[in-house]
Structure 1
Amino acid sequence: MKCIKKRISVLRYLGDNEILNYRKAMWHAVELLKDLPLCQRVIKGAHQTLLQGVRGQSKSPGEYRRVPNWIGPPGCLMEDAKFIPISADKLDEAMGKWEKYIHEETGFACPVGRCSRLT
């Protein structure tokens, strides 16, 4: 029982740090946006802050993934996934296109408006 309580305590601590990192990452992005437009540098900077000292800290914080991933039940194969995002080898190019797109002159006053057209 003592071991279980300790594990729960550790998980709660890690969860709290992850929540705090969301706030830190948001404020980090807000600071960067004072001098930069919405861009990959801002996104990667927020991602790096988000993963400091928590699960995933060894997974290249601030960088795009380099391996395939998917969403599905635990242990499922990619073929059984409910969602498969863009492949890692196409991610850099796609994010570059996204960045160019949000900064094009389209008649929308802000990047959020331009992003709304993506859906």
Structure 2
Amino acid sequence: MKQLVIALAGAAMVVAALSGCSFEASVGKYVSKDELAKVAKVKMEEAVGQTAKSVVCDDDLEGKVGATQRCVLTANDGSRVGLTTTVTSVEGTNVKFDVVADDKPME
């Protein structure tokens, strides 16, 4: 599954190129770390066309424009890549955010 990590290493460009690079969750004042991980995993898998073992986020994502949260995607072979989620807009209880993969896999 090293291909996933290699693909994810360049996923920042892939995700930025996608028309739907912003994701929305109707959650109120924050996105729970579990919901954030779920959405980030699905969107990163869609971006690279491969499945991942898991995504785990450090904490909840505050529903405030510019707020960030770190997550780690683990490929099926155990290799990992960091993800940064950033809130781009908040409208009522809808929090929109981007997910961008680090340029290099974690060691």
Structure number with the higher strand fraction is: 2
Structure number with the higher helix fraction is: 1
Same-fold status (TM-score > 0.5):
no
Higher relative CO (Cα under 8 Å, sequence separation at least 6) belongs to 2
Q: State the TM-score, normalized to the length of structure 1.
A: 0.28
Q: State the TM-score, normalized to the length of structure 2.
A: 0.30
Higher alpha-carbon Rg: 1
